[in-house]
């Protein structure tokens, strides 16, 4: 198949359509607007529905309705809009509804700016809504990977009846790269016996997150916890880059991971044994990636476009066995490879490593 | 091979599409390519720019903060980006619309009256391709044929009649710099 | 000799980021002139929205707040309840006020909050790249209605002045336009009245201003003004929808 040049935001749209998604509800916000623009054209072509909501609060509740009615459905936004969706995401998780939520992360807090950032990591992985719940979070690092992960996102959402978030950043959304789309498959959407589609002579179905009796809510919470434990054991995904004999291991996701690959290459050229772990799932966090390295490396350096959020997950994974350092830029600034190399050299083979 | 090209100008000058054409041609030649625009309210001031990276190896950051080549289509872009070019890099100035000179002494500078040349060819809208032709000639980053082939793929069929004109624009820019030598400031 | 074109005290002397032909700048000027004329500059507090006019907080030289998208009427409510003797205004776009912020505007109006709303209806989400607004006309092409706004998919344009004027809490509601000098003069009068209603403590006041966005309409500044007059005014009739007996 020939390659085509595509914008990240458009690739999300095309990836979703190819994953069988036919419903999009959303509200405009930079830097993800090309995605709604794309789907406003594309979904009607395949008999789907594109609807601009009056707010993100409305959008996520339209998703709740569509998902509960049995559709493959998605929404998309960035920082401020994702914040408004948190209530709805909590309800979706509580009612165990599958859906995909895209967050093209921009600078915060507040209105912040529209430049690329990764500072919604806590919100994505810990959940910005209320209650004991988890959302699967996928972090692509290239336009090609967006296409592949959109399919996975919808499949995981269905398999676990859980919201899945795809977390990118302004750069990933805006950049164009060659992608291979492959043949368009005829996607079979798994049956949804739980969906409330009208009884039509069958049993009553209920889409709900209210369990007024504490014993019942506890049972519901424990059931969700078992599901999350299963996801955590089965769905960790990551990429390893030049880890052979690495003394210092960089940890970075998304756009920053691309920059860190260049850092690894430069360091290796200079004889420094440096490698990279790139988490693809931010939740569940790929703890398994770290186990084989324990006792074999000196230290870790986490690089992020934030003031250090994922660094906490790396510390949990390493659990005190090695030092975990942090380097980051924020506010929409991008780490520069040369600066990260500098940081690596400061730490490499140094005291306390 | 690694080329990071920044193309900057007014909104309506086709800066973004010129960059896309270049990236497309790189893709057709089997290279790693990326394209990224400036986005958001900064577009509103009427300026636009995009970064195109073409490389033999995977591209780390698509953001072109230190271009190996810079094309400026208007004066604000020259003033804003001249400093960012890597030492030894290339600067192509659209002298039809820019009446000042570059100041850097450590880069190669070419002045190309792109709008006038485009008008001589019969269509002011191909100014971007005149200057792109110069870039191809000076860097060899992609071939002229690959750009023509890209036009065939990105333009809708009813606009294919414009391809010969665009090809001539590319050749005009290439021929101009083939005949002249770089100007160094100072 | 009297100088005709002086900059209002209430506007800062800095260049704005608005596109050529954008009418946001005209409306800023009218609001600033009215604040000057009523001599309320020192006790006026403005609330800027999220939209193209987000940087209004830099242009108005009085105290300013920047609110989250659509919530300016709630922010203004908080300000006015703490400082009832100050003059408070919000400046909001149609996406901000008539989509995400519908709840806030309706309830501020229903409560009869004593502040003034300047509502810029340009039939588009300008800041984010020309998407459909609640006020986008039927058939109008935008980046999210590539086939034109279709009533069966997106419903009908929202008429804010008509809607709010039926609420008992509103004291003054007018729709004006700024597409030519004669209408600019009328718009200025309406804005002045709205502030006077606030000063007299009569209740909620709102002026809807039909405004041009040449950039996202894809028109030249002159064409945009013409398009406004020919397409928006027939759907959004101008006039005072509600005014208290106290004002002439
Ligand atoms: C919660 C939230 N959602 C979306 C946005 C993105 N956003 C910024 S401005 C805007 C629309 C502005 O349109 P309008 O209010 O009509 O003002 P105009 O730019 O047309 O003057 C949107 C959707 C945001 N900042 N916050
Ligand atoms: S985009 Fe439209 S509303 Fe925004 S500044 Fe430009 S003309 Fe004005
Ligand atoms: Mg608007």
CB C60 within 8 A of CB C46: yes
Q: Say if residues B47 and B9 touch (Cβ distance below 8 Å).
A: yes
Tell me the domains of chain C and their CATH numbers.
24-242 (3.40.50.970)
> 10 Å Cβ neighbour count for A331?
14
Q: Which residues pair with C204 in a beta bridge?
A: C170
- 3-class SS string, C163-174: HHHCCCCEEEEE
Chain B partners (3+ C-beta pairs within 8 A)? A, C
The dihedrals phi and psi of B176, each to the nearest 5 degrees, come to -60, -45
Domains annotated on chain A, with CATH: 4-234 (3.40.50.970), 238-347 (3.40.50.920)
What are φ and ψ of residue B49, in 5° steps?
-150, 160
Contact C153 A51 (CB under 8 A): yes
Number of domains comprising chain B? 1
Question: Angle at CA A88, nearest 5°, toward A87 and A89?
Answer: 95
User: Domain with B149 in it: what CATH number?
Assistant: 3.40.920.10
pLDDT at A227 over 70: yes
- In angstroms, the Cα distances linking A87 to A53, A66, A122, A133, C147 are 16, 17, 16, 12, 33
CA–CA dist C79, C97 (Å, integer): 18
Output the average pLDDT for chain A.
96
Residue A57 CA: distances (Å) to CA of A61, A76, A85, A188 = 7, 12, 5, 30
Kindly report, residue by residue over A74-98, the tens digit of the pLDDT: 999 999 999 999 999 999 999 999 9
Position of tokens 């804010």? C160
Confidence of residue B43 (pLDDT cuts 50, 70, 90): very low
Give the mean model confidence (pLDDT) for residues A195-209.
Answer: 95
Cα distances (Å, whole numbers) of residue A104 to A16, A169, C217? 15, 4, 26
Dihedrals φ, ψ of A7, to 5°? -80, 145
Both tokens of A313, joined, read 């997950």
| C-alpha–C-alpha distance, residues A315 and A56, integer Å | 34
pLDDT digit string, tens, across residues B105-124: 999 999 999 999 999 999 99
Give the closest residue (by CA) to ligand 1 atom 10.
C51
**Alpha carbon A177 to its chain's center:** 20
As a whole number of angstroms, the distance between CA A260 and CA A263 comes to 5
Is the pLDDT confidence value at A261 over 90? yes
Q: In the structure encoding, which two tokens stand for residue A62, read together?
A: 């339209």
Distance CA A276, CA A253 (A): 10
Tell me the mean pLDDT in the region B116-138: 96
CB of C75 closer than 8 Å to CB of C47:
yes
Residues with CB under 6 A from ligand 2: B 44; C 18-19, 22, 24, 52, 122, 126, 213-216
- Comparing CA positions, the residue from A332, A50, A146 lying closest to residue C143 is A50
Does pLDDT of A270 surpass 80? yes
Which letter does DSSP use for residue B134 in this model? Answer: H
What pLDDT score was predicted for residue A336? Answer: 93
**What are the C-alpha distances in Å from A115 to residues A43, A171, A269, B14?**
28, 8, 32, 23
The percentage of residues in chain A with a pLDDT greater than 70, rounded to a whole number, is 99
Residue ranges making up the domain that contains B149: 2-185
pTM beyond cutoff 0.90:
yes
pLDDT greater than 70 at residue A72: yes
State how far residue A117 is from chain B, nearest Cα, in angstroms. 14
- Class of residue B116 by CB neighbours under 10 A (exposed 0-12, middle 13-18, buried 19+): middle
With bands split at pLDDT 50, 70 and 90, how would you rate the model's confidence at B41?
low
**pLDDT greater than 70 at residue B42:** no
pLDDT at C3: 59
User: Ligand 2, closest atom to CA C19?
Assistant: 6
Over residues B145-160, the mean pLDDT reads 93
How much distance in Å is there from the Cα of A162 to the middle of ligand 1? 30
Q: pLDDT averaged over chain B?
A: 92
Q: ipTM of this complex > 0.90?
A: yes
- Average pLDDT for A7-23: 98
At residue A61 the predicted structure's pLDDT band, cuts being 50, 70 and 90, is: very high
Is residue C146 helix, strand or coil?
Answer: coil
How far apart are the C-alpha atoms of B130 and B166, rounded to whole Å?
8
- Closest ligand to C-alpha of residue C20 is 2
The ligand that comes nearest to the alpha carbon of residue C218 is: 2
Residues of chain C predicted below pLDDT 50: none
| pLDDT higher than 80, residue A268 | yes
**Structural contact between residues B114 and B93, judged by C-beta atoms closer than 8 angstroms:** no
* Coil vs helix vs strand at B183: strand
b (16+ CB within 10 A) / e for A33-61: bbbbbbbbebbeeeebbbbbbbbbbbbbb
Nearest-CB residue to A30 (from C99, C128, C143): C128
pLDDT (0 to 100) of residue B104:
95
Q: What is the mean pLDDT of residues A36-62?
A: 97
Residue A252 binned pLDDT confidence (cut-offs 50, 70, 90): very high
Compute φ and ψ for C233, nearest 5 degrees.
-60, -40
CA–CA distance, C225 with C181 (Å, rounded to integer): 11
d(CA C87, CA C84): 8
């Amino acid at each position: 198949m020939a390659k085509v040049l595509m914008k990240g935001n458009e690739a999300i749209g095309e990836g979703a359509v190819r994953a069988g998604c036919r419903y999009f509800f959303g509200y405009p916000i930079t830097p993800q607007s090309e995605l709604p623009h794309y789907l406003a054209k594309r979904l009607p072509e395949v008999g789907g529905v594109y609807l601009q909501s009056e707010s993100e609060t409305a959008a996520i509740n339209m998703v709740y309705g569509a998902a509960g009615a049995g559709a493959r459905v998605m929404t998309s936004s960035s920082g401020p809009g994702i914040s408004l969706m948190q209530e709805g995401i909590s309800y979706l998780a509580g009612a165990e509804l599958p859906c995909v939520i895209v967050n093209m992360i921009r600078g915060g807090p507040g209105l912040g700016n529209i430049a690329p950032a990764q500072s919604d990591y806590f919100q994505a992985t810990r959940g910005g809504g209320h209650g004991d719940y988890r959302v699967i979070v996928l972090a692509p690092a290239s336009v090609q990977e967006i296409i592949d992960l959109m399919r996975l996102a919808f499949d995981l959402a269905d398999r676990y009846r859980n919201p899945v978030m795809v977390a990118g950043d302004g750069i990933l959304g805006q950049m164009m790269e060659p992608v291979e789309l492959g043949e368009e498959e005829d996607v079979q959407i798994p049956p949804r016996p739980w969906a409330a589609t009208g009884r039509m002579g069958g049993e009553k179905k209920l889409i709900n997150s209210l369990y007024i009796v504490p014993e019942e809510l506890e049972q519901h919470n424990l059931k969700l916890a078992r599901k999350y434990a299963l996801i955590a054991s089965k769905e960790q995904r990551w990429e390893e880059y030049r880890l052979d004999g690495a003394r210092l291991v960089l940890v970075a996701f998304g756009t920053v991971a691309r920059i860190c690959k260049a850092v690894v290459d430069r360091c290796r050229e200079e004889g420094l044994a440096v490698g990279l772990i790139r988490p693809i799932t931010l939740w569940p966090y790929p703890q398994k990636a770290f186990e084989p390295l324990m006792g074999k490396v000196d230290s870790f350096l986490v690089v992020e476009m934030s003031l250090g959020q994922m660094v906490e997950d790396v510390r949990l994974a390493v659990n005190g066995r090695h030092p975990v350092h942090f380097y980051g830029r924020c506010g929409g600034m991008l780490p520069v490879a040369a600066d990260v190399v500098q940081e690596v050299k400061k730490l490499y083979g140094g005291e306390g490593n | 091979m690694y080329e990071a090209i920044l193309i900057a100008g007014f909104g309506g000058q086709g800066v973004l599409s010129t960059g896309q054409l270049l990236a497309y041609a790189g893709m057709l030649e089997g290279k790693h390519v990326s394209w990224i625009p400036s986005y958001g309210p900064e577009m509103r001031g009427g300026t636009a720019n995009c970064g195109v990276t073409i490389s033999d190896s995977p591209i780390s950051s698509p953001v072109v903060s230190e271009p190996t080549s810079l094309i400026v289509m208007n004066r604000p872009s020259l003033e804003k980006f001249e400093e960012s070019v890597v030492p030894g890099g290339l600067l192509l100035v659209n002298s039809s619309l820019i009446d000042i000179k570059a100041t850097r002494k450590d880069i190669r500078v070419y002045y190309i009256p792109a709008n006038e040349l485009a008008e001589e060819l019969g269509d002011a809208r191909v100014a971007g391709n005149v200057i792109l032709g110069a870039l191809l000639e000076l860097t060899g980053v992609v071939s002229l044929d690959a750009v023509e082939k890209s036009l065939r793929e990105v333009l809708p069929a009813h606009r294919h009649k414009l391809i010969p004109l665009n090809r001539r624009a590319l050749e005009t820019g290439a021929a101009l710099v083939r005949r002249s030598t770089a100007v160094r400031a100072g | 000799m009297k100088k005709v074109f002086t900059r209002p005290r209430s506007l800062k002397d800095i260049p704005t980021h608005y596109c050529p032909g954008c009418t946001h700048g005209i409306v800023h000027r009218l609001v600033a002139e009215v604040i000057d004329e009523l001599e309320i500059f020192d006790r006026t507090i403005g609330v800027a929205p999220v939209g193209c006019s987000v940087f209004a907080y830099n242009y108005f030289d009085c105290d300013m707040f920047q609110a989250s998208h659509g919530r300016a009427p709630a922010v203004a409510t908080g300000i006015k309840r703490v400082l009832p003797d100050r003059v408070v205004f919000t400046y909001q776009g149609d996406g901000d006020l008539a989509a995400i912020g519908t709840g806030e505007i309706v309830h501020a109006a229903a409560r009869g909050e004593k502040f003034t709303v300047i509502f810029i209806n340009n039939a588009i989400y300008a800041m984010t790249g020309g998407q459909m607004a609640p006020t986008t006309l039927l058939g109008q092409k935008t980046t999210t209605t590539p086939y034109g706004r279709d009533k069966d998919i997106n419903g009908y344009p929202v008429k804010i002045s008509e809607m709010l004027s039926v609420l008992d809490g509103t004291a003054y509601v007018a729709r004006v336009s700024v597409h030519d000098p004669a209408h600019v003069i009328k718009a200025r009068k309406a804005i002045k009245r709205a502030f006077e209603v606030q000063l007299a403590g009569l209740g909620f006041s709102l002026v809807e201003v039909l405004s041009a966005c040449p950039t996202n309409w894809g028109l030249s500044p002159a064409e945009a003004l013409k398009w406004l007059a020919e397409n928006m005014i027939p759907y959004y009739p101008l006039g005072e929808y509600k005014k208290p007996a106290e004002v002439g």
